[in-house]
Structure 1
Amino acid sequence: MSNESPLIQSMRTAVAAAPADVPLRLHLAELLLGEGLGEAAVAEAAVALQHAPGDAGARALMMRAMGLPAPADGKAETAEEPEQPAAHRPSTGFDWAAAENEVAGAVPPRFVTPAPAPGPGATAPEAPLAADGSGDPGDATAWEVDTPGSVTLADVGGMHEIKERLEAAFLAPMRNPELGRLYGKSLRGGLLMYGPPGCGKTFIARAVAGELGANFMSVSINDVLDMWMGNSERNMHEVFETARRQAPCVLFLDEVDALGAKRSRMQHGGMRNTVNQLLTELDGVGGANEGVFVLAATNVPWDVDIALRRPGRLDRTLLVLPPDAPAREAILRYHLRDRPIESVDLGKLVKVTEDLSGADLAHVCESASERALLDSTRTGVVRMINMKDLLGAAKEVRPSTDPWFASARNVAMFANEGGMYDELLAYLKKRRKL
């Protein structure tokens, strides 16, 4: 600082008064560079780039201050350049353009066996878990409501037992309202889905909405909880009011163990009031919930308040287990559909991925792609993803469902009130997990 000229010191005072003024800061950096204070100029240019990351002048000044050669055209490269080649690619001498062209010309056979004919359970399920509907709720609302989508249970690969139970216990009465009225069955309902994470509970909820031709509304704890007293209860009420206005509507309560946790364990009265409000809304006094189908999902059903499972609320349960063989084949085929693969034996891959969830299967495909990509960059020769990559990735991925089954086993064996976990016990015995 003591070696700086009075002009530079004055400029520093001006920059301190207006730290976000990029041109002023760059002018200071130019003066510093002119005085031979390269490090100080680099520091000022770096701060300028924090405020304006795409500023070409700041980039050029930074390069000069660091003693680096300027670009051929005399300008710093900008974000508008289409490919950003050298700045983000390893200097291995690998010809990326040629690699992309070679991969683009991938030819069959991709799989050892052809894809199955379209039909129930044969299309790709689980992977669209992250796909969002594009519906407009019609009137302005803080809650997103998706219009009836094209996804139905036919798009869920495998899982035939789950589909049959949904059809018998939930969908058939909803599809036949006249018959339901004849037998005094209300056009409303509640279903609690539980099971290990990553097995498609959210996708099944969307498929149920598509099956019923109903709107779809997904709600999590972040949508409801508020720091101010009374706002959480009001939000919960508005959620149900929106679903009632959009009826027929499937209202999906994700991670319901957070929205409806056991009140006996709560220390905060505000959260207990939120659970009480949820119970009140589920009751739908005066038939207000006609046409609102409540689906809830949780990984820990033993943490859900027992009052939520009372008849008339979430009185039916559905265990969603890791995908069976047909579902695993459909999920793997979906995640490999746009990747450069050759001679993949899905039948063999399905056998070695037992117990993996849908999320685990997606990770297997991603890991196999990384193996082939790294090998291609090391050798300089592009190759397809093959069975060796997929089998190696499958061997490294441990089932993420194992910790869940370890916890669920104790609950099912020693806290099976009312036989809620009978289906889980049967599965554990069948798979010799007890």
Structure 2
Amino acid sequence: MNILLVGSGGREHALAWKIAQSPLLKRLVIAPGNPGMDKLGERVALKATDADGLAALAREMKADLVVVGPETTLEAGLADRLATAGIPCFGPTKKAAQLETSKAFSKAFMERHEIPTAGYGVYERLHEARQALTVFKPPYVIKADGLAAGKGVAISPTKREAEGEIERMLGGRFGTAGARVVIEEFMDGEEGSLFAVCDGQRALLLGGAQDHKRAYDGDLGPNTGGMGSYSPAPVFTPELVEAAERNIVAPVIAGMAREGMPYRGVLYAGLMATTDGPRVVEFNARFGDPECQVLMMRIDGDIVPLLLACARGDLTRVDPPEFRPETVICVVLAATGYPDSPLEGSIIRGADQNFGPHVQVFHAGTRRRDDGQLAAAGGRVLNVCARGKDIAEARQRAYAAVRKIDWPGGFHRTDIGWRAMEREAGSAG
């Protein structure tokens, strides 16, 4: 098979790593990719938002499957162009991707289909949003309506801070993505991410993961795109997963089909485990980052038939995915100053060494200099992932690998997986 993979981050490196293991693969082209993917396939310098150029590339290479990594590609409408060309695409159409690209659309959709989520309001005018704060109780959850690279959510403990966040969002902090804000009821509980692959009519669960959004240890500092993750996530008990599949995943797939937007690709359901059962925090229309990295290392066997079955609209022809029994953890190495003003260009040494059979390092924001040295070229730069028999062993292996990478220009959290560690300690006690 000829496969085109779109994207350039750690999520796409993990997907490329997994796809490259398939015996079905003949040719893998990655656009635009990053230096970590050089040994996995051919890189083509096309932006992930260049839907016309990507569709032309897919036709030129006679792609049997296109796999979309980032949400920006979905918003650009690549799946729609590929459908016109008759090329299977793992990723939803622009309309279906609104589950992620517009929080206002997503909340209204959940309201129509009685999918459990937080109460909310949508506002375009500053005075209306300020007035709405009198209806909600602190802490206040403020979200930019559109895509904001994982940074468009603020949880403000006071009304004054909430007003400041609203002013910044409506004032242009996130461009057009913040032209509307969504104010939500705060949900108390533990959050996790549940993934399902979908063919427009059916869904198969891929299991869950937990990530760490805050920049610093102890869940302190600004929100980021994610500083680490691990899977499986103990918060996803069998009872919670069953309730989420019945009350959330199945109604979403059925509702999207009824509304003329059949959903094909991966559905990421960010869930809050509350005393009343799972409730939706948000939907993403693609694999999470860095959750994708730990999922790819847990899935056992060939992933390509699963992706192709979703793209062709028939999951009945493939077996459900199987998973390795280990726990996998991912530690994100980010550039100093991330998320607000990451410093680019610092030299990274040791990232390409062989860390052993239990560790994989995925590139997220790197470039290769003319002299061959690896340099930082983004906010989140490297993802150090490791398997272990439990969370403690996976953590030990991941952080041992982190210490072998020489990068003074970066930082990382040292407490990834702390919730799972506390659970393990509690059960052991």
Alignment TM class, shorter chain as reference: under 0.3
Which of the two has greater strand per residue?
Answer: 2
Please identify the structure whose Cα radius of gyration is greater: 1
TM-score w.r.t. the length of structure 1 is: 0.22
